[in-house]
Copies of this chain bind each other. A is one copy, B any other.
Amino acid sequence: MASIPESWSHMADTNAVVRFIDVNLRGAGQVMFQNNPVTGLLFIVGIAWGAYAANMPPVAIGAVVGLLVATLTAYALHVDPATLRIGLFGYNGILVGAALPTFLAVDPLLWLYIVIGSAVSTVAFLAVANVFKTWGVAALTFPFVLVTWFLVLAAYAFNGVPIASMGPPAIPQEIAATAAVIPTDAQFWLDSFLNGPAQVFLIGNGVTGVIFLIALAVSSVWAALFAMLGAAVAVLIAVLFGADTATIQAGLFGFSPVLTAIALGCTFYKPSWPVFLYALLGIIFTVFVQAAMDVALTPIGIPTFTAPFIFATWLFLLPKENLAPVRHDRAAHAVVGEKVVAGKSASATVVVTNSKKAK
Contact = CB atoms under 8 A, between A and B. Distances in A.
A19 B336 CA distance: 38
A163 B295 CA distance: 14
A325 B78 contact: yes
Nearest to A319: B126
A90 to B, nearest CB: 16
A157 B359 contact: no
Given A116-B284, A295-B300, A314-B127, A243 B159 contact: yes
Interface residues of A, number: 91
Given A134-B134, A159-B177, A323-B77, A127 B315 contact: yes
A116 B286 CA distance: 12
Nearest to A116: B284
B295 A325 contact: no
A268 to B, nearest CB: 13
A180 B159 contact: yes
Contact of A123 (B161, B172, B316): B316
A162 B158 CA distance: 32
B157 A299 contact: no
Contacts of A242: 158-160
Contact of A322 (B109, B241, B354): B354
A169 interface: yes
B170 A324 contact: no
Given A157-B244, A160-B241, A167-B174, 13 more contacts: A77-B325, A79-B323, A79-B324, A80-B322, A130-B322, A150-B292, A154-B292, A154-B295, A157-B294, A162-B174, A168-B174, A169-B171, A321-B354
A341 interface: no
Contacts of A318: 126-128, 130-131
A358 interface: yes
A335 to B, nearest CB: 5
Interface string A69-102: 0000000011110000000000000000000000
Nearest to A158: B241
A124 interface: yes
26 contacts: A109-B240, A109-B241, A116-B284, A126-B323, A128-B318, A134-B134, A134-B135, A136-B359, A150-B285, A150-B288, A153-B291, A156-B174, A156-B175, A157-B243, A157-B244, A157-B291, A158-B175, A159-B179, A159-B243, A167-B174, A168-B173, A170-B171, A172-B301, A321-B358, A322-B354, A336-B359
* Most chain B beta carbons < 10 A, residue from A77, A162, A292: A292
